[in-house]
Amino acid sequence: MKKILFAKPSITKKEIDYVNDAVSNGWGENCYDYIHRFTDKLKEYFNSPYVWPTSSCHGALHIILMSLKIGRGDEVIVPDMTWIGSVTPVSWLGATPVFVDVMEDSLCIDPKKIEKAITNKTKAIIAVHPYGNVADMDAILEIGKKYKINVIEDAAESVGSEYKNKKVGSIADFGIISLHGTKMFTSGEGGAILCKRKDLVEKISLIESQGRKSSRRIDFWVDEIGLKYKMSNIQAALALAQFERADDIIKKKIEIFNWYKKQLSLINDITLNPKPEWVKNVYWLPTIIFGKSWAMDLEKRNRLLENLNKKNIAARPIFYPVSSFPMYEDCPENTISQRVFVSGINLPSYFEMSEDDVIYVVDNIKKELNL
């Protein structure tokens, strides 16, 4: 039986040619060629003045937080419904993540609740754009400005989505993206820092180069303790090919979502990824949130997923609220994060998927729901 994966990158001759070229020729004096080309491509794609490719999105966030001198005694606001990758570097630096609830439709951090969570220790807000959906950036930036708090956009899951015609990740002063193999575009593992703050360019460069100033690279002098999350030239070759095909990849993801939307249209009381008129949603993962009338609980949702998995359909659950992990304190007030966790599922979406695959997935969902 055919397996319907939840994600899989689209690898064409272009990707293979670029990677072959990097492996064959990208050494010695050519060892940064693809890194430079990819960096320029990201600057153009995001219209972002300062960019550093990294080995992961986690690394990108770690470097930004460190360059902002965030550490012990500081608080960083994050949405409770996100992947732990939005939070781990905050904890590693000794700062305290403050978990704020998300909105029911977009699953993005709720700006109204951010303001209530601000204290005199708050140093940053991490605005995550989950599953292709887009956070309310004007409202979040307004709060950042009012309280003089840095805003970092975590666009790991939504590369290509737009807010008011601007690519997410490039709207706030800082943005991060992921190029993990399941994401919109991939370099295998990878990510990037996007930055608009000229005054922090030197600091970020210093940290991401293990504490070496560019003028002192040759004699190995180190000025401070930095980090090492570099992307390799080979990974950059793969990522460059992917971004050169960005329009095609995004077009297909939107098409897949629209097939789902059509097939799911007769099911009552469900919400799919929203697309307000000021948003372009690339629908990294089509997501169903079952409304209250479905009385979804953990058992019912798990049964649905298990039975879909038995049919070779790799649907998966919405993320646990991060505050429910043993390292953190529970946040019972984050009722929406808790509710969507038990009542939401992500559906498969990848470039090679056909409309028939989508019909197969939805037919099986309907069977499981006795429709």
Ligand X SMILES: Cc1ncc(COP(=O)(O)O)c(C=O)c1O
**Contacting positions for ligand X (CB under 6 A):** 56-58, 82-83, 85-86, 128, 154, 156-157, 178, 180, 191
Minimal distance in Å, beta carbon 139 to ligand X? Answer: 19
Q: What gap in Å lies between CA 283 and CA 77, rounded to an integer?
A: 25
Q: What gap in Å lies between CA 143 and CA 118, rounded to an integer?
A: 10
Q: Give the residue with the Cβ less far from ligand X, 170 or 178.
A: 178
Minimal distance in Å, beta carbon 58 to ligand X? Answer: 3
Minimal distance in Å, beta carbon 83 to ligand X? Answer: 4
Q: Give the residue with the Cβ less far from ligand X, 34 or 131.
A: 131
Q: Could you give the dihedral angle defined by the CA atoms of residues 252, 257, 263 and 267, in that order, rounded to the nearest 10 degrees?
A: 180
Q: What gap in Å lies between CA 157 and CA 154, rounded to an integer?
A: 8
C-alpha angle with apex 330: 328 to 335, nearest 5 degrees?
A: 135
Q: Give the residue with the Cβ less far from ligand X, 19 or 107.
A: 107
Residue of minimal Cβ distance to ligand X: 85
The b-or-e profile of 65-88 (16+ CB within 10 A means b, else e) is bbbbebeeebbbbbbbbbbebbbb
Give the 3-state secondary structure of residue 205.
helix
Minimal distance in Å, beta carbon 93 to ligand X? Answer: 15
In the block, residue with structure tokens 């929406």: 336
And the tokens for 346? 């992500």
Minimal distance in Å, beta carbon 327 to ligand X? Answer: 16
Q: Give the residue with the Cβ less far from ligand X, 212 or 253.
A: 253
Q: What gap in Å lies between CA 154 and CA 141, rounded to an integer?
A: 14
Minimal distance in Å, beta carbon 80 to ligand X? Answer: 12
Question: In sequence order, what are the residues at sequence separation of 6 or more whose Cβ sits closer than 8 angstroms to the Cβ of residue 26?
Answer: 33, 34, 233, 234, 237
**DSSP state letters, 134-199:** ---HHHHHHHHHHHT-EEEEE-TT-TT-EETTEETTSSSSEEEEE--TTSSS-SSS-EEEEE--GG
Minimal distance in Å, beta carbon 294 to ligand X? Answer: 26
Q: Give the residue with the Cβ less far from ligand X, 287 or 364.
A: 287
Q: Give the residue with the Cβ less far from ligand X, 281 or 364.
A: 281
Q: Give the residue with the Cβ less far from ligand X, 83 or 290.
A: 83
Q: Give the residue with the Cβ less far from ligand X, 239 or 362.
A: 239
Minimal distance in Å, beta carbon 85 to ligand X? Answer: 3
Q: β-strands 96-100, 75-79: how paired?
A: parallel
